[in-house]
Structure 1
Amino acid sequence: MFSVKTLFLAAMATVAYAAPTCQPAFVPTLPKCGGARELPPPPPSLTLKKIAVGHGIQNYTCVDTSSSPKADGAVAILYDVTRFAPGTPKTGLAQALWDKIPSALLLKPLTLKKLAGTKYGADATKPFPKEEDLKLLGFPVAEFLGHHYFDSTSTPMFDLNRVGLKASVIKLDAVDAPANADKGPLKTGAVAWLQLGESGKGLSSGLTQVYRVVTAGGVGLKCDVAGAGVHSVPYTTFYWFF
């Protein structure tokens, strides 16, 4: 026969076992560039959906050799690195290793379908190869997430087709990349960090804002070096999707 004391202790043990942990979900913090001004944070109402590392090209047009290169869109493959963000329980990378991802990826040959006669240019109609995960030496495998491109109206698009998210965006704000950012294989510099917002064209699905941060490479060649016409420059970056 159980005593009153035994029944009481058993009941207390059951209550203790059933108590919720109430630990808040971990949310990575958007990086800062360390300049005189930072990109504005996303509105508190938005939640982080994905973090991707993008690998692709920035395109530029030179009217002639005395002009300045005009940005002319971009094409990139996106890989899911959300679960590797520093601080993520069990799967998070050390901060120093995480910070190296864009520069390490920039050393990897582009997998975009190349435009004939160019070193970095991508095929204009079918630039993307078959969908494959990213295997980068010294880093865990990152799953394929989607593509970044500019549509027929020159609107930046992010199609995260692996998870059913899409963003049609316009530029809201920009800050220069840090002075010590990886300048890329052409040593031209790292493209600016951006805050991008919904374009209002009704093409987005599940996404409202996109941040381009921790950029490496991507700045256009001077036109007296590139010559008149279109040229492409490799770049990598983290994209944060809200």
Structure 2
Amino acid sequence: LPSDVLNTRKVPLNRNDDGGASLTNPFPKKQPLKVEGLRKSIAYLGRHFFNAAGVPTFDLDKANQLLIAKKIDGIKAPASAPAGPEGTGAVDWLYLGDAGGSQDVSLVYRVLTAGGASHGCKAKGTDSTSYTALYWFYG
């Protein structure tokens, strides 16, 4: 997604009362994403979340693919990367591989991030930070 999407539309998540993603029902209906300025909607492919064990999971249900991931490598986002609407800075660029149990996809690159760096822990509770990124999946 283009980085300005963060500033021009609501994040496609169901929110709880404190503004974070809902812990019981975080995802809205599966549908194409309409982005102002683009002629066509972006097709729905799947969802990214952390499973009950805290492992990054990419459920690309539209393509019948699943990546249960582990970090292989990463680098800091360039200093010129957009900091996001909350001003937290761009989250790192990552290279993730199969942690076991994946289906038809074995690695993903996360690049061109905008926003997403942590707010930092100030108190007990949940936290969400908006970001956009380009993900490249490989079988």
Task: Report the TM-score when normalising by structure 2.
Answer: 0.91
- Looking at structure 1, the residues matched to 22 and 99 of structure 2 have their Cα atoms a distance apart, in angstroms, of 26
Task: Trace 1:109-148 onto structure 2 (pairs within 5 A).
Answer: 109-116=10-17, 118-119=18-19, 121-139=20-38, 140-148=40-48
- Looking at structure 1, the residues matched to 135 and 106 of structure 2 have their Cα atoms a distance apart, in angstroms, of 13
Q: 1:111: Cα distance to partner?
A: 2.5
For 1:167, what is the secondary structure of its paired residue? strand
- Looking at structure 1, the residues matched to 10 and 119 of structure 2 have their Cα atoms a distance apart, in angstroms, of 19
2:117 alignment counterpart: 219
Q: Is 1:237 equivalent to 2:133 in the alignment? A: yes
2:50 alignment counterpart: 150
Bigger Cα Rg: 1
Task: Trace 1:33-112 onto structure 2 (pairs within 5 A).
Answer: 53=1, 101=2, 103-107=3-7, 108-112=9-13
Q: 1:222: Cα distance to partner?
A: 4.0
Number of residue pairs aligned between Structure 1 and Structure 2: 135
Instruction: Return 5+ residue gaps in structure 2 as ranges.
Output: none
Q: Is 1:167 equivalent to 2:67 in the alignment? A: yes
- Aligned residues: CA RMSD: 1.2
1:114-163 residue CA offsets vs partner (Å, 9 max, x unmatched) = 112x12x1111211011111111111311111100011111110001111
1:166-225 residue CA offsets vs partner (Å, 9 max, x unmatched) = 10010000000011101011111000000000002x2x11000011000010111244xx
Moved over 6 A (4+): none
- Looking at structure 2, the residues matched to 214 and 146 of structure 1 have their Cα atoms a distance apart, in angstroms, of 19
1:181 alignment counterpart: 81
1:228 alignment counterpart: 123
> Relative contact order (alpha carbons < 8 A, sep ≥ 6): 1 or 2 greater?
1
Query: Cα distance 1:165–1:222, how it changes in 2: closer, same or farther (>3 A)?
Result: closer
- Looking at structure 2, the residues matched to 137 and 113 of structure 1 have their Cα atoms a distance apart, in angstroms, of 20
Instruction: Return 5+ residue gaps in structure 1 as ranges.
Output: 1-52, 54-100
Say which structure is richer in helix.
1
1:69 alignment counterpart: none
* Aligned counterpart for 1:199 among listed residues 78, 88, 99: 99
- Looking at structure 1, the residues matched to 14 and 35 of structure 2 have their Cα atoms a distance apart, in angstroms, of 19
1:14-57 residue CA offsets vs partner (Å, 9 max, x unmatched) = xxxxxxxxxxxxxxxxxxxxxxxxxxxxxxxxxxxxxxx5xxxx
